[in-house]
Amino acid sequence: MNEKNTKRISKFLSLILRHQPEKIGLKLDINGWTSVEELLNKSSNNGVSFTKEELDLVVKTNDKQRFSFNEDKTKIRANQGHSLKNVTIVTETKTPPPFLYHGTVAKFIPSIKENGLQKMSRQHVHLSSDVETAKKVGSRRGKPIILTVQSGVMHKKNYEFFLSENGVWLTNLVPTEFINFEDL
């Protein structure tokens, strides 16, 4: 399978396993899992055909490890990034490093200054442990601006942090007083 095809399937999986399973008549359980066999069948019925081996390869080689199988590989889910309200991926709360980073773009800064970092359409605010990754996240929307979040201070004040299976730090809200806006 070529890279273009892998990417196409990965994008399709993100859509179905995070946002719109109903698009192909699929149901996710409350932990985000769905049957691999049903996913293969229903995708194919809706014009997106791939084999179990191809799915395996997409999950294994995905650049951000977006998806996981359960132990016996009968079920699959997205590790994070859901907008579906009735899916919760349980991750343990974890002590974050002193600083985490958020990549965004200039047009959002006035609103972030006023309201802090909000979940917007996702279930959590997504933060990166390194500047490089945050830059990539911001670049999806234009020239990236990197905000530094005082996660250590927030943690001391009892804000909860979660670490997703693929290494993304998640929290519910970053109030503006914990964001460094210097130079902006």
Residues within the interface to ligand HQG (CB under 6 A):
64, 66, 81, 104, 108, 111-112, 115, 117-118, 120-122, 126, 137, 141, 168
Closest CB 72 distance from ligand HQG, rounded Å: 25
| Closest to 75 (Cα-Cα) out of 37, 23, 127 | 37
Complex with ligand HQG: residue 46 or 166, whichever CB lies closer:
166
Complex with ligand HQG: residue 47 or 110, whichever CB lies closer:
110
Closest CB 65 distance from ligand HQG, rounded Å: 9
List the beta bridge partners of residue 179.
149
Complex with ligand HQG: residue 87 or 112, whichever CB lies closer:
112
Closest CB 25 distance from ligand HQG, rounded Å: 23
CA distances from 106 to 59, 109, 159, 169, 177 (A): 33, 5, 26, 22, 18
Q: What share of the chain is helix, strand, coil (3-state, %, to 5)?
A: 40, 20, 45
Complex with ligand HQG: residue 10 or 34, whichever CB lies closer:
10
| 99 Cα distance to chain centroid | 19
Closest CB 43 distance from ligand HQG, rounded Å: 19
CA-based end-to-end distance of the chain: 44
